[in-house]
Amino acid sequence: MNDLNGRVAVVTGAASGIGRAIALCFAEAGAQVVVADRRRDAWHGGAPTDELAEGATFVECDLADPAAVAALVPAVAERHGRLDVLVNNAAVSAGRELLETTDDDWHQVLAVNLTAPFVLSRAAVRQMLTQEPRGEVRGRIINVTSQHGIVAAREDTAYGVSKAALSQLTRQIAAEYAGEGIVCNAVAPGKIETGPSPRAGEPGWQEYWTSRTPWPRLGRPEDVARAARFLAGDEATYITGTTLMVDGGWTAR
């Protein structure tokens, strides 16, 4: 399906994991994808995303760096002439409960998970408002939140709070700019197997994730990517301000 043919899409954190799967899925659907990440190489190995996705380009962008974040959307618009889809995917985690969370942990997580999406979304909306609409829509923003923006994040206070706030940012943008043809939604993954990690190697965590997920397997990056592609396409035009759960039933239990 080439339902994103000719669209220009920015995906943050697209060198690895869920962002990589979204970028590849969008490129397969015909989009010109800008892979924005602080490093080009995938942390779990393999060829860089921009080499695998036809027509993709890589832009180095550290989302903890305010100057780099501020420059991203204007640079994309100057190069491609427009921006059709922004996917705020990149995220970090402190992995600590409240009393163990330092001020530095808090500021780092919110800088990447919330402030960067806010700044990028603001710049994206400014750019989209200057564009002629494709059908009814001038542009789309997709925020990758989490089931932990709906229910508490075990041993990860800053992460859970950041994702809950990103869900509210999604609703704010949708309500404020629907009349201008801006669509904003979120996709909320459950536990997605993205490769080796410290917690993934601990039996206690595997048991926790499995016991909380009604579906008989944990999620894969492609599960989230397909949901994001739906929200990026014309089929989702009258859907805005919502969060699409891709969690195998985690939050339903």
Average pLDDT over the chain, rounded to an integer: 93
CATH topology of domain 8-252: Rossmann fold (3.40.50)
Each domain of the chain, given as residue ranges in start order, spans 8-252
- Distance CA(215)–CA(250), nearest Å, equals 8
Average pLDDT over residues 129-143: 96
At residue 180, does pLDDT exceed 60?
Answer: yes
pLDDT grade for 185, boundaries at 50, 70 and 90: very high
pLDDT at 208: 83
Average pLDDT over residues 97-107: 96
**What distances in angstroms separate CA 117 from CA 36, 81, 125, one per listed residue?**
13, 21, 12
- Say which of 159, 177, 208, 238 is annotated catalytic: 159
Residue linked to tokens 């509210």? 168
Compute CA 180 distance to the chain's CA centroid, rounded to the nearest angstrom.
23
177 is catalytic: no
pLDDT grade for 196, boundaries at 50, 70 and 90: low
19-50: per-residue pLDDT in tens? 999 999 999 999 999 999 999 988 777 889 99
Q: Crossing angle, helix 66-80 and helix 116-128, to 10 degrees?
A: 30
- pTM recorded for the entire structure: 0.94
pLDDT at 253: 86
